[in-house]
Amino acid sequence: MSTTVPVKAQNSVAKKQTPEFVQLLDPDGRRLSDELYDPWVSDVTGDQLASLYEDLIIVRRIDTEATALQRQGELGLWPPLLGQEAAQVGSARTLRPDDFVFSSYRENAVAYCRGVKLPDLVRVWRGTAASGWDPFEIGMATPAVIIGAQTLHATGYAVGCKFDGADSVSVAYFGDGATSEGDVNEAMIFAASFNAPVIFFCQNNQWAISEPVGLQAQRPIADRAPGFGIPSIRVDGNDVLAVMAATRSALDRARTGGGPTFIEAVTYRRGPHTTSDDPSRYVDPAVAAEWEAKDPIARVEAFLRSEGVLTDELAASIQARADAVAAEFRAGCVGLENPEPLSVFDNVYATEHSGLARQKSQYKAYLEGFEK
């Protein structure tokens, strides 16, 4: 059964909003009412929510496949996003093509939603390229590994949009750990000073590698932004509908001259920081179980089934689609060709100069030494 009826809170199951954060779907899949944020998703139908559910299933399947590829020696490293799917999908699906994303290394679901080709997600992690894709083709910069640096890039881009008279918005994705970096604080100061149309989207996944968020943040991270003159929203990052509402609100503010917004999406990193990490050394299993019960996919599935939108047939079709995407992803990964060694010198400078030519010649001679 499909439906074009907006996904609204029903009196029989709705309850008032929790003051902790914006939440429209609770972990049990019940639709909650919120006078402030309900209007931002009043147009979302059951079919559209089912499409978001499909995104969630697919990006989790891609992430699982990538982790397996790394364990099998096909990737050098991988930063899993398990548990953070709703924060990424719910925000990314609100953006226009002319908006621009500046992310860290974990936003592979955002990249999928922006249209990055599957093999391009792993070029860098396989070591076959220094960059995964052309940023201007999809409106998303390649991931920043230097923690927090992308917030400066996003702010500068946003100021440029303002100077150009465009209503495009830039979005910077980063984690809770990055909020302790000077770059992030400098970016927020600059954004507030120049009323830049930028969204600072913090995925608070509770861990900065192995450091718990409570060690660096004595209060909710969202409370920091008003000190810079930037309004903030704290949202349930495991609730795809609430994330979409919060992001739409922030986008509207930016497009209409209201300036920057800080969004703290409260979620949980259910896997390792990267595949080189062992979270069992520092994660309390009881806490992990609590967050697993708040799974972002399970609540959407429960709601869609209660509304008669998600049938067994549709669920099986979505899973088959996810498996097909994963197979395509794997084939694309193992099929990536190794670059010519000397190509490392390409695109370093706009024009070649004597110093670069000398280094290239020396490296060529070094490589030829192995052939003798």
Per the annotation, the verdict on 273 as an active-site residue is: yes
**DSSP string for residues in 275-334:** TT--GGGT--HHHHHHHHTT-HHHHHHHHHHHTT---HHHHHHHHHHHHHHHHHHHHHHH
Q: Give the whole-angstrom CA distance, residue 307 versus residue 244.
A: 20
In angstroms, what CA-CA distances link 347 with 134, 337, 352? 13, 19, 9
Q: Is 26 left (phi over 0), alpha (psi -120 to 50) or beta?
A: beta
The contacts of residue 366 (CB under 8 Å, 6+ apart) are: none
Catalytic residue among 282, 349, 353, 366: 282
As beta bridge partners, residue 31 has 25
Q: Would you state the structure tokens that stand for residue 253, as one six-digit string? A: 């503010």
Residues 6 or more apart whose Cβ sits within 8 Å of residue 199: 169, 170, 171, 172, 247, 250, 251, 254, 260, 261, 262, 263
Q: What is the CA radius of gyration of the chain?
A: 22
H helices within the chain, ranges in order? 46-71, 85-92, 108-114, 123-126, 135-138, 149-164, 182-193, 213-216, 240-255, 285-292, 296-306, 312-334, 354-368
Closest by CA position to 261, among listed 199, 204, 202, 203: 199
Assess whether 157 carries a catalytic annotation: no
Cα dist from 268 to 85, 91, 238, 271, 320, whole Å: 10, 16, 8, 9, 27
Using DSSP's 3-state secondary structure scheme, residue 235 falls into: strand
Catalytic residue among 269, 270, 299, 330: 269
Which of 31, 61, 234, 273 is the catalytic position?
273
Task: State how far the Cα of 34 lies from the Cα of 26, in Å rounded to an integer.
Answer: 12
Does residue 281 have an active-site annotation? no
Task: List residues with catalytic annotation.
Answer: 269, 273, 282
